[in-house]
Amino acid sequence: MDSAKEKHKMHKNDVDFTRIFDDEQLISVLNFNNMIPIDDKFITKIDLKPNVKDSRSQANYKKIVHKRN
């Protein structure tokens, strides 16, 4: 993941590159060529459903994620 730069505005989504938008504004990019594989044991599943037990920061993060999807 990288912050959006002027050069990314002209790039098209492809197998190894994806642009991320928020309300039609380019906010970030994913360049899959720069990623490295990791073993599944290092992956932690995150429950993104709102929960009354969430801290304020958890609730805010979940709102942002849902807004972007």
Domains of the chain, residue spans:
2-35+43-68
Please give the chain's pLDDT, 69 residues, in tens: 888 888 888 888 888 899 998 888 888 998 888 888 899 999 998 889 999 999 999 999 888 887 765
Check residue 69 and give its pLDDT: 59
Check residue 66 and give its pLDDT: 79
Q: Cα separation of 45 and 42, whole Å? A: 10
Q: Which residues contact 4 (CB under 8 A, 6 or more apart)?
A: 19, 20, 26, 27, 28, 29
